[in-house]
Each structure stands twice: as structure tokens, then as C-alpha cells.
Amino acid sequence: MKQYKKVKILATLGPASSEEHIIRQLHAAGADLFRINMSHASHDMMRQLIRHIRAVELQSGRPIGILADLQGPKLRIGRFAQGTVELRVGQSFTLDNRDEPGDNSRVFLPHPEIFAAVKAGDRLLIDDGKLHLRVEKADNESMTTTVVAGTKISDRKGVSLPDTLLTVGVLTDKDRADLDALLATGEIDWVALSFVQRPEDLIEVRKIAGDRVGLMSKIEKPQALDHIDEIIRLSDALMVARGDLGVEMPLESVPGLQKQLTRACRRAGKPVVIATQMLESMISAPVPTRAEVSDVATAVFEGADAIMLSAESASGDYPVEAVATMTSIARNVELDPLYAGIINKQGAAPEATGADAISLAAHQIAVTLGLAAIVCYTSSGTTGLRAARERPPVPIIALSPVVQTARRLSLVWGLYCVTTDDTTDIDETVKRACAIVEAEGFGGQGDSIIISAGVPFGIPGSTNMLRIAEL
């Protein structure tokens, strides 16, 4: 039978993996979809990467998803006359709107929205938290802070605001230009939104993108957690961006939040990606640390839809080895005798819909009868998402006549996506499902499968039929 994994691997492309032959090796090693980081990719580079991915897709015969990650509002301080200055804990330090080189008493902050939003007592974390400042007072032109921890500050370092809600949207002028270029290709399946804080951030982007791409909210700001239910409702998927989240929140709180968000997404039937620093040491080493292996395994045990590689595959020395390592970890966890029990205990009650009732029944029948696979016909992707939400122990073969649907579903736990011609006849549907299961290596003569579809055919969201068939 075919060797396949339920959790998906999202690999970031970059200088170490921008050539077609490397992308082909990453896919062969287990990458199910690829991330293009628009913080670093020009429009020409983005289009070239898309061409390479689609060439690999054509050669492999498998739908491959593409995620484009928008940069978002990167907040940075200005420059210093000497490049770097030393501060003292307890001293006063000012950030202002004067576009002049800074010194050990002040620096330029080119973000007027911050002056308008901060209040006394708010924290400013500079350079991923290496410098901690506390706001004493602020107006529309400057803010006076006290140095709480850290002593070094240098040019163009990033600013994090864990206590401040910025009312500006998530799209900068650069993001809008990038989004227009991405949508114009017609080849992007997911767009990730950085620094989401409010439901309004999703509404703004949805007005531009419509349903042409899936919207993935990156949870990296503590303010997003105050509106998480609404953000999940308005998103098509979530990414738990643990690196930035760990800067703005206590590190010890991140593992628990990862579990909470993973389970909340499963309840909602929305895919969730666990990202950043998964196999960080493999940027420069051919093998990971034991702690990193346990970290990846925890995400798999928890039932995350996808696990992501960032610099490991984009700029590291061992991009293919990193994907192969992640694949090996995932497959071993999914074979662990405790895995099925953990996944089942995290299940959520089905909603009162026909799709959920059918998906739950398919799961129970497949387990009771020991079936080889569940096959679901899905045009819009909804049936595939609901089937995956049940986390059945058998493979889920998602058949779709819409290649864009198959590509988007490549992110979703347990789905093995196949593009196929549309069908209008039940007998033809069953016959084709059996043929595909056998051709793809998920069953052989004498095995049985269960098929879900919507009758009459061609109406999205009308799943109402179950059929057991023998190969």
C-alpha cells in the first residue's frame, strides 16, 4: 500500500531552493506545498518560482499548493550616527518623529501610528526583545521611555508592541502592490496575512481578494487572541507563528497557546499551520537536535494540518535533508500506537449539517468495516475539509474536478488530492473512485472503500450520499 502521511509539510523557498531541480527534490522528500515570502521575493522572482513549482507539479502529476506570505507592517527604528549605541538600564530614551541620526538619548521612529496609539506603561521590545523599553509619556511627535532590560541598540532594528493595539490595517502600500501582482498570476492558492490583530484586518483583504485565494491569518500578536474566535471565523486557515508570538508573550505561554489554537481550528474545520523554528539547527547542521524532533512530533500528535519550514529550506545548507527529516518524524509519529487515541480524544462534536453527518458516518463505517479509504468528491473543497475534521484513521482521497480546489486542499490534514473529470452518474462515480484508489496504491482487489458525494452532482456543498464499494 502507498506510503503517505496525514500531516502536510509547507516548505519556504529562497536562495537555497529557488531552482526547479531543488524544488523537485523538496517535493520528492515530502513537501506538499511551497511558501513564497514576499518580504524577500520581487515580483519577477515570485513569478519565476511559480513557474518552477507548476513545472514540478506537471511532472509529478500531483496538485501542489502555493502560499504567498505578505510582509505586513514591519515596524523599525531609524539609524544612529555611530551605527550602534550602548544604553543603561534605568536611563531615559526618546523615540521621536525627527528624521535625523540617533544617539544614546534618542532615535527616529518613522511610524506616526505608534505615537497615536501607545500609552504610559506600554512595552516596546526592540530587536526581538533584546531591548525592553517602558513608555512613560507620549504625544503625536515623540514618546519618552525608560530602559527596563538590555543595553544595546543599532540601526533599523524591529519594534514589537505587545501592549498596543494599532488601528492601521495589515496591508501596507507594498502589500497592496504585492497582492495585486499575486492575484494577477491566477496561480496562488493561499495568501498569509502578517500581524493580524482585528477581524477588520481580514475584512479589508477579503474585499480585494474575494474567493480567488484562501486567506491565512498569522497569529503573532497577542492582540489577535482577544478576537480569536472571530478571526478564525473570517479566515480560511490559521498559522501559529511562534517566533514573533514568543517575542511579544512569555515564552512559557506559547506551547499552551499552540495547543489551544490547534484545537480551536479543528473545531471550526479550518486548517492550522505550526510555523517557525521547527528544525532551526538544520539551517547549518545536517541533523536536528533531539528537542527539535520532540517539538515537531508534538505538533503532529496534536493534529496540526501542516508544519512549516522557514529558513531551514529557504536559505539553509540542508534544505532537502530538512524536509526529509520532517517527513520521517511525521510518519513515525503517525505510526505510534498512542497517536490514534490522542487524535480521537481531541475530536469536536459535529455541527448540525448534512456534510458533518455524512463525514462522521463515513468515519465510523470505515473503522467498523476496516475499509481501505474514504473517497470524497469535492468541488468547492467543503466536503474535503469536513471529512478531514473528523480525523479518520484511514486515508481520505479527495477527488475534485477543479484543480484550484485540489491545490488549496493540499494544506489539509489527511487529504490525498486528485484532480479528475466531473461526473454526473452515480455508477460512474463509484467506478472512477475505485479505479483511482487502486491506481494510487491505496487498495487492491478485494478491499472496500466508502464514497461520499452530493446528488444531484455539480452543486457545491450538497454532500448527501454514502456508498460502500469493493475494488
CATH number at residue 411: 3.40.1380.20
Instruction: From the candidates 145, 164, 262, 276, give the one annotated as an active-site residue.
Output: 276
Let me know whether 218 and 275 are in one domain.
yes
> Which three cell numbers, joined as nine digits, stand for 421?
473529470
Write down the pLDDT at residue 120: 97
Whether 47 sits among the annotated catalytic residues: the reply is: no
Let me know whether 118 and 92 are in one domain.
yes
Confidence of residue 426 (pLDDT cuts 50, 70, 90): confident
Cβ neighbours of 209 (radius 10 Å): 18
Let me know whether 295 and 193 are in one domain.
yes
Strand partners, 309: 11
Whether 218 sits among the annotated catalytic residues: the reply is: yes
Mean pLDDT is lowest, of 24-38, 128-142, 352-366, for 352-366
Q: How far apart are CA 130 and CA 46, in angstroms?
A: 33
Q: Indicate the number of domains in the chain.
A: 3
Let me know whether 309 and 456 are in one domain.
no
Average pLDDT rounded to a whole number, residues 180-205: 96
Q: Indicate whether 470 pLDDT > 60.
A: yes
Q: Which of 88, 87, 91 is nearest to 77 (CA)?
A: 87
Q: Indicate whether 458 pLDDT > 70.
A: no
Helix (H) or strand (E) holding 262: helix 254-268
Domain containing 297 — which CATH number?
Answer: 3.20.20.60
Write down the pLDDT at residue 121: 97
Strand partners, 275: 241
Let me know whether 138 and 215 are in one domain.
no
Write down the pLDDT at residue 347: 78
Let me know whether 221 and 270 are in one domain.
yes
232 inside domain = yes
Q: How far apart are CA 148 and CA 88, in angstroms?
A: 9
Let me know whether 379 and 324 are in one domain.
no
Collapse the DSSP code of 223 into the 3-class scheme (helix H, G, I; strand E, B; otherwise coil) and give the result.
helix
pLDDT, mean over the chain: 94
Give percent above pLDDT 90 in the chain.
88
Let me know whether 67 and 180 are in one domain.
yes
Q: How far apart are CA 386 and CA 359, in angstroms?
A: 6
List, for residues 210-242, the tens digit of each pLDDT value: 999 999 999 999 999 999 999 999 999 999 999
Which amino acid is present at 174?
K
Instruction: From the candidates 5, 6, 8, 35, give the one annotated as an active-site residue.
Output: 35
- State which of 311, 338, 365 marks the end of a domain: 338
Domain containing 140 — which CATH number?
Answer: 2.40.33.10
Let me know whether 271 and 196 are in one domain.
yes
Cβ neighbours of 422 (radius 10 Å): 12
Domain that holds residue 465: 354-470
256 inside domain = yes
Average pLDDT rounded to a whole number, residues 77-84: 96
Give percent above pLDDT 70 in the chain.
98
23 inside domain = yes
348 inside domain = no
Q: Which of 337, 307, 336 is nearest to 323 (CA)?
A: 307
Which amino acid is present at 287?
V
Q: Indicate whether 423 pLDDT > 90.
A: no
Q: Which of 227, 189, 183 is nearest to 209 (CA)?
A: 183
Are 62 and 91 in contact, with CB atoms under 8 Å apart? no
Average pLDDT rounded to a whole number, residues 413-430: 91
Helix axes 43-60, 173-185, angle to 10 degrees: 30
Let me know whether 460 and 328 are in one domain.
no
Instruction: From the candidates 5, 123, 218, 408, give the one annotated as an active-site residue.
Output: 218
Are 69 and 11 in contact, with CB atoms under 8 Å apart? no
Q: Which of 395, 354, 325 is nearest to 5 (CA)?
A: 395
Mean pLDDT is lowest, of 13-17, 278-282, 357-361, 411-415, for 357-361
Q: How far apart are CA 450 and CA 212, in angstroms?
A: 31
Which amino acid is present at 274?
I
Collapse the DSSP code of 419 into the 3-class scheme (helix H, G, I; strand E, B; otherwise coil) and give the result.
strand
Confidence of residue 462 (pLDDT cuts 50, 70, 90): low
Which amino acid is present at 120?
A
332 inside domain = yes
> In the chain, what is the straight-line distance between the N-terminal and C-terminal CA atoms, in Å?
14
Let me know whether 281 and 402 are in one domain.
no
251 inside domain = yes
Write down the pLDDT at residue 464: 77
Q: How far apart are CA 159 and CA 463, in angstroms?
A: 48
Which amino acid is present at 35?
R
- State which of 160, 190, 223 marks the end of a domain: 160
Q: Indicate whether 131 pLDDT > 60.
A: yes
Q: Indicate whether 167 pLDDT > 60.
A: yes
Q: How far apart are CA 239 and CA 258, in angstroms?
A: 10
Are 361 and 466 in contact, with CB atoms under 8 Å apart? yes
394 inside domain = yes
Write down the pLDDT at residue 457: 67
Identify the DSSP state of 469.
E
Q: How far apart are CA 6 and CA 70, in angstroms?
A: 27
Q: How far apart are CA 179 and CA 213, in angstroms?
A: 11
Collapse the DSSP code of 50 into the 3-class scheme (helix H, G, I; strand E, B; otherwise coil) and give the result.
helix
Whether 35 sits among the annotated catalytic residues: the reply is: yes
347 inside domain = no
Are 191 and 212 in contact, with CB atoms under 8 Å apart? no
Let me know whether 289 and 334 are in one domain.
yes
Confidence of residue 468 (pLDDT cuts 50, 70, 90): very high
List, for residues 87-102, the tens digit of each pLDDT value: 999 999 999 999 999 9
- State which of 116, 140, 160 marks the end of a domain: 160
Average pLDDT rounded to a whole number, residues 268-281: 97
Whether 2 sits among the annotated catalytic residues: the reply is: no
